Amino acid sequence: MSHARPQRRWADQATRLRELVSGRREVTAPRAGARIIAVTSGKGGVGKTNVAVNLAICMAARGLRVTLVDADMGMANADLLLNACNPYNLSHVISGLRTLDQVGTMVTGDVFFVPGASGVDRMANLSEFERQKLIAQLRLLDGSADVIILDCGAGISPNVLSFALAADLCLLVATPEPTSLTDAYALIKVLVNRKLVAPICVLANFAESRREANDVQARLTAVAKRFLKYPIAEAGFMLQDNHIELAVRQRCPFVLRYPRCPASACMAAVAGRLAGSRNATRGGGLFRKVVGLFV
């Protein structure tokens, strides 16, 4: 079973994205093709899945070929937000019955979605071999995607760490709550100790104001710099917005259901920063900015 993507101006955009991220090749293993963004957090329930799903749609709306993988192993639920109903999921990939390409389908918002498995404890306890097999399969999507977004679980489980370490960019979602900040720092610390090379970008969620979001980013940036000597970039923020919960209840991504709500504006801005605006693709874009931190 294969799912052809609609033919659009993707070849050009793939080239642009590669140009955009080309600087990173100086500091990480050379690799062409799709960039992997791992959406992670220290504490659970901070909005990762909503960010991953809606960011995927916003990036697709910018003309990028986006693959979204529900990598919250054993507790997957991105399919609910997308109202997607696939017969196969990552558990079938692990058991060797299907390839990643075969379990994914095009879903609302022009995103190629690979569902995860829910309530399958085996998925939460994969062997290192199984994890690396899955990551190798992600690399095989290189030719058909410009961006691969992984909705990871929370915390520092081996699954989360493996995906984050394999990514080109870790998008760390944190909220102003002290527990979220502490857990976010713990995750950064473990990743840095494991010799992470990818940039970490903080997305402050549940912020009551831009000022509060800035405070979240400033705190994490400061502690990571002071204690770990690791630079952290800012991906943007998402305001606390009841439209998100309303959209979740309707099983529709909020950027599609409420495109004019504050959270949608925030999400579009984050997508713009990560992908680079049309006018700034050659010189702007967060991939390029964060590269600057490492050179």
Q: By the criterion CB under 6 A, which residues form the site for ligand ATP? A: 41, 44-50, 72, 154, 205-206, 238, 240-241, 244-245, 248, 263
Work out how close the CB of 216 gets to ligand ATP at its nearest, in angstroms, rounded to a whole number: 12
Residue 45: contacted member of ligand ATP, Mg ion, none (CB under 5 to 8 Å, by partner type): ligand ATP
Give CA–CA dist 178/275, Å, rounded: 30
Q: Does 49 bind Mg ion (CB under 5 A)?
A: yes
**Nearer to Mg ion by C-beta: 49 or 264?**
49
Place of tokens 């959209």: 247
Can you give the C-alpha Rg of the chain in angstroms?
A: 17
Residue pair 104/66 in contact (Cβ under 8 Å)? The answer is no
Take residue 217 and report the two structure tokens written for it: 């980013």
Give CA–CA dist 98/86, Å, rounded: 13
**Nearer to ligand ATP by C-beta: 148 or 261?**
261
Work out how close the CB of 272 gets to Mg ion at its nearest, in angstroms, rounded to a whole number: 23
CB neighbours of 249 closer than 8 A, spacing ≥ 6? none
Q: Which of residues 192-251 bind Mg ion (CB under 5 A)?
A: none
**Nearer to Mg ion by C-beta: 13 or 49?**
49
Q: Where are the beta strands (DSSP E) in 18-164?
A: 35-41, 66-71, 105-107, 111-114, 147-154
Work out how close the CB of 10 gets to Mg ion at its nearest, in angstroms, rounded to a whole number: 28
Helix or strand (DSSP H, E) at 135 = helix 128-140
Using CB under 5 A, which of the segments 1-9, 40-48, 88-96, 252-260 binds Mg ion?
40-48
CB neighbours of 247 closer than 8 A, spacing ≥ 6? 81, 253, 254, 256, 257, 258
Using CB under 5 A, which of the segments 42-50, 100-108, 138-146, 214-222 binds Mg ion?
42-50
Work out how close the CB of 126 gets to ligand ATP at its nearest, in angstroms, rounded to a whole number: 17
**Nearer to ligand ATP by C-beta: 41 or 144?**
41
Do the strands 111-114 and 105-107 form a parallel or antiparallel pair, or are they unpaired? antiparallel
Residue pair 203/174 in contact (Cβ under 8 Å)? The answer is yes
Residue 13: contacted member of Mg ion, ligand ATP, none (CB under 5 to 8 Å, by partner type): none
**Nearer to ligand ATP by C-beta: 51 or 126?**
51
Residue 12: contacted member of Mg ion, ligand ATP, none (CB under 5 to 8 Å, by partner type): none
Work out how close the CB of 211 gets to ligand ATP at its nearest, in angstroms, rounded to a whole number: 16
Chain positions contacting Mg ion, by CB under 5 A: 48-49
